[in-house]
Amino acid sequence: MLTAQQTYDRLKNHADTYGYCTLSEQERFFLKKFKAMHLNPLVREGAKTTGEALKDKKQRTWTGASPSGSPKRRRVTRRARVSFDPSLKTWTPPAAPEAVQAMEGHEVVASLPSLYQRPEGKRKARVLR
């Protein structure tokens, strides 16, 4: 009977030679779990407490910030920078209402092409009631 370490070594050697695709699903799972549980240095040393992990680090705070939490950062929205080239100006102010010449209705009808005008004989008579 092989030990777990010997089984791992044989499977690892086989996988390196012929590729992982030649292993069964159980063998691949065993390689992955054995490596995670026995070869990973973090697992061998054991989990560190928060105090041990932060032992050598110095906590930075802003003035007035509580040391337990990180300071709040605000996002500053920048205004879009817009350039203006006066040589490209195309807009002109509209004319005053008094300067606009109004057209009468019959002038508008007379200016339309004949396609949009009814022939004289086709006009409908209005019946007043």
The pLDDT assigned to 26 comes to 92
- In DSSP notation, 74-116 reads PPPPPPPP----GGG----PPPPTTTSPP--HHHHHHHS-GGG
Full pLDDT tens readout for the chain, 129 residues? 888 889 999 999 999 999 888 999 999 999 988 888 877 766 666 677 777 878 887 766 555 555 555 556 666 777 777 788 888 888 888 888 887 787 787 788 777 777 776 666 666 666 676
- Model pLDDT, residue 18: 92
Domain ranges of the chain: 4-44
The pLDDT, as a whole number, for residue 108 is 80
Residue 103 and residue 107: Cα distance in Å, rounded? 6
